[in-house]
Amino acid sequence: MATADTYPHIILASDGKAVIEGTRYTVEHIAAEQYFYGWSAEEILRQHPDLRPAEVYAALAFFHDHHDSMVAAIEAGKARAERARGPETVSRDELLQRRSAAQSRNG
């Protein structure tokens, strides 16, 4: 693994992904939480008490310095997840109707 010299706590794994050294977190994971949820560094730290402030700020600095490529990777991951999930086979309305029918039978 190579160290990303300008980002303390961030290393590049053999697959080229930036990770927070000594953790299971990729920079992409932390970046996605800020990108999708709008979480601040403080909220990320609340959500991940196993991370230290310096690690989160380094991950966010890496994200913002590589914003376009990171956002493209995040969006590609979202698209892969949506394809893997497949189309919904049951609509929300149908689920509500099923629940109503079950409640009628049971109560």
Cα gap 94→11, rounded to integer Å: 48
The pLDDT score that the predictor gives to residue 27 is 98
Write out pLDDT tens, residues 12-45: 999 999 999 999 999 999 999 999 999 999 999 9
Band of pLDDT at residue 82, cut at 50, 70 and 90: confident
Global confidence as pTM: 0.74
Strand partners, 18: 12
Q: Which two tokens stand for residue 32?
A: 């996605």
Could you tell me which of 75, 41, 74, 70 has the C-alpha nearest to residue 58?
41
Residue 27: closest CA among 37, 14, 42, 16? 16
Domain range summary for the chain, segments of one domain joined by +: 2-106
The span from the CA of 81 to the CA of 85, in Å, is 6
What is the band of 95 on the pLDDT scale with cuts at 50, 70, 90? confident
